[in-house]
């Protein structure tokens, strides 16, 4: 029953009581009419047999937080006649959209509406419900059709400042960095002789070509490997049951943005959590990006984590990015980057002195805020000299 239908039943009941108290048969006739009308409309609404199938198609395979996508629904209803009413596709709180309208639609059985990702995760869209009301508005019928469709909302990916332009270091596989090393490498280039160079390093062919004494300058290729670590240790994040932790959401978005950014610069990127669990790897394949984003869509704070002193053992000499939550001076003093060429630390809740302590150990450290791009650039530029290397403290 609708509210109007319930009011009609109560009015009929009131007329019945009044007819007995006032000895007015006309009120009894009115009551019978109201009861008959409500029963008839209920039969009209609920008697017809209906069945149907629902198929949904979402314009994007993965829905990014803040991104809009279109849902196309084909609703094949089998009934004696087309009912008039309203349709509604059930949406979770994590997906925003106006998934309702009048039925039948202008396009017949084709329904379209837009959705926007509000919170990362794996969510169910549907089922589709059809609500019909009798012409008098006394009785209604709500019937669900079809199954739900899973939609994956992945973290937002932010465009970041290139690591090469800020830190002054070489990029991934597409770049190399030259440095003066000892003998023994075949990857050589000539340079002018300076006092103190060994005569065994003279490049005779270049000397003859240029007319000046030239020696072999050895080149060392920069490491094409990078590691991004998302610290999921539970006590570093706020524990909230009903609402997501905004700091953790920023950290996950930063993790995705930095990993994809480094991959775009030519690095082979490994993404793992503070316990050593691999969350994804980027090696230049198209599907690896989606695999990583899906994994990050489902991560949450968990575990107690391990000691920072053992976390970076064997880290490659390429970029190393650590993203964490609460960080005090003691934890910062235990951070070891294992000789990485570009160690970067981002923390959402640093205690006083924590960033300075990490910076003294060679980290390019900074707070992580809602503006991920600015936090990334600030962390690099504050502790890294323009020509590369860390600012002396």
CATH number of the structural domain spanning residue 363 = 3.40.50.410
Choose the most confident range, by mean pLDDT, from 47-61, 175-189, 235-249, 251-265: 251-265
Does residue 169 lie in a domain region?
Answer: no
User: Please, where are the H alpha helices in 96-180?
Assistant: 163-167
215 and 227 assigned to the same domain:
no
Residues 362, 263 share a domain: yes
Can you give the pTM of this predicted structure?
A: 0.74
Q: What is the pLDDT of residue 123?
A: 93
- The pLDDT, as a whole number, for residue 156 is 93
- Structural domains counted in the chain: 4
Q: Is the dihedral of CA 169, 374, 93, 107 positive or negative?
A: negative
What are the start-end ranges of the H helices in 102-245? 163-167, 204-210
Q: Count Cβ neighbours within 10 Å for each residue of 138-170 and write b for 16 or more, e otherwise.
A: bbbbebebbebbebbbbbbbbebbebbebbbbb
Report if residue 170 sits inside a domain.
no
Whole-number average pLDDT of the chain: 82
Q: Give the C-alpha separation, 237 to 247, whole Å.
A: 8
271-305 residue pLDDT tens:
988 888 889 999 888 789 999 999 999 999 987 76
pLDDT digits (tens, 9 = 90+) for 54-98: 999 999 888 999 999 999 999 988 887 778 889 999 999 899 999
| Domain annotation covers residue 251 | yes
Alpha-carbon distance of 325 to 254, in angstroms, equals: 12
- The encoded tokens of residue 149 equal 């469709």
Residues 100 and 16 in one domain: no
Do 196 and 238 lie in one domain? The reply is no
Could you tell me if residue 371 is inside a domain? yes
Would you say residue 159 lies in a domain?
Answer: no
pLDDT tens for 198-224 read: 677 788 888 887 888 887 765 444 457
Contact assessment for residue 273 and residue 230, using Cβ atoms and an 8 Å cutoff: yes
Percent of the chain predicted with pLDDT > 70:
83
Same domain, 322 and 212: no
Give residue-wise pLDDT tens across range 377-388: 988 875 543 333
Residues for the chain: how many in total?
393
Q: Which pLDDT score, from 0 to 100, does residue 216 have?
A: 75
Strand order in the sheet with 214-220: 177-178, 214-220, 188-192
Residue 35 sits in the same domain as residue 85? no
Q: What is the domain-level CATH number for residue 130?
A: 2.60.40.10
pLDDT digits (tens, 9 = 90+) for 228-240: 999 998 888 987 6
Last residue of a domain, one of 187, 220, 253: 220
Residues 248 and 214 in one domain: no
Which of the two residues, 152 and 184, has the higher pLDDT score?
152
Instruction: Give domain status of residue 264, yes or no.
Output: yes
Kindly state whether residues 214 and 232 are assigned to the same domain.
no
Do 110 and 150 have their domain in common?
yes
* Residue 77 β-bridge partners: 52
Whether pLDDT at 329 is above 70: yes
Q: Which of 169, 187, 220 is the last residue of a domain?
A: 220
Domain boundary among 188, 220, 252: 220
Same domain membership, residue 232 and residue 283: yes
According to the model, what pLDDT value does residue 209 have? 79
Answer yes or no: do 150 and 202 share one domain. Answer: no
Average pLDDT over residues 168-187: 43
Residue 174's pLDDT is 42
**pLDDT tens-digit readout, 255-275:** 999 999 999 988 889 998 888
Range of the domain at 245: 223-383
Residue 389 in any domain: the answer is no
Percent of the chain topping pLDDT 90: 40
Q: How far apart are CA 187 and CA 207, in angstroms?
A: 18
Q: Looking at the domain assignment, is residue 388 inside a domain?
A: no
> 106 pLDDT exceeds 80?
no
Residue 217's alpha-carbon distances to 177, 207, 214, 278, in angstroms, are: 12, 13, 9, 39
pLDDT of residue 172: 57
Q: What is residue 221's predicted lDDT score, i.e. its pLDDT?
A: 45
Q: So what's the pLDDT on residue 33?
A: 93
Is the same domain home to 240 and 378?
yes
């Amino acid at each position: 029953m609708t509210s109007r239908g319930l009011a009609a039943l109560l009015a009929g009941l009131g007329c019945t009581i009044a007819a007995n108290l006032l000895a007015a048969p006309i009120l009894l006739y009115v009551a019978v009419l109201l009861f008959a009308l409500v029963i008839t409309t209920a039969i009209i609404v609920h008697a017809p047999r209906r069945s149907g199938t629902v198929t949904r198609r979402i314009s994007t395979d993965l829905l990014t937080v803040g991104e809009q996508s279109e849902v196309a629904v084909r609703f094949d209803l089998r009934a004696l006649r087309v009912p008039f009413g309203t349709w509604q596709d059930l949406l979770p709180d994590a997906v925003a959209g106006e998934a309702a309208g009048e039925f039948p639609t202008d396009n017949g059985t084709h329904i379209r509406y837009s959705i926007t990702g509000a919170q990362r995760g794996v969510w169910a869209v549907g089922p589709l419900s059809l609500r019909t009301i009798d012409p008098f508005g006394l009785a209604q019928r709500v019937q669900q059709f079809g199954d739900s469709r899973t939609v994956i909302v992945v973290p937002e990916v932010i465009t970041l400042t290139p690591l090469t332009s800020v830190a002054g270091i070489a990029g991934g596989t597409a770049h190399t960095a030259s440095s003066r090393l000892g003998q023994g490498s075949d990857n050589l280039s000539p340079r002018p002789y300076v006092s103190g160079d060994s005569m065994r390093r003279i490049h005779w062919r270049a000397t003859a070509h240029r007319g000046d004494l030239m020696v072999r300058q050895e080149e060392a290729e920069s490491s094409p490997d990078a590691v991004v670590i998302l610290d999921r240790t539970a006590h570093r994040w706020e524990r909230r049951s009903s609402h997501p932790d905004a700091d953790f959401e920023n950290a996950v978005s930063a993790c995705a943005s930095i990993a994809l950014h480094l991959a775009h610069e030519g690095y082979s990127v490994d993404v793992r959590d503070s316990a050593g669990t691999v969350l994804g790897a980027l090696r230049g394949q198209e599907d690896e990006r989606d695999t990583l984003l899906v994994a990050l869509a489902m991560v949450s704070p968990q575990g107690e984590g391990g000691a920072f002193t053992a976390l970076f053992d064997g880290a490659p000499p390429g970029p190393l990015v650590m993203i964490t939550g609460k960080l005090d001076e003691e934890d910062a003093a235990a951070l070891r980057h294992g000789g990485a060429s570009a160690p970067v630390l981002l923390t959402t809740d640093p205690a006083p002195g924590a960033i300075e302590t990490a910076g003294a150990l060679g980290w390019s450290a900074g707070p992580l805020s809602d503006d991920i791009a600015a936090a990334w650039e600030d962390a690099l530029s504050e502790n890294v000299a323009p020509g590369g290397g860390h600012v002396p403290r």
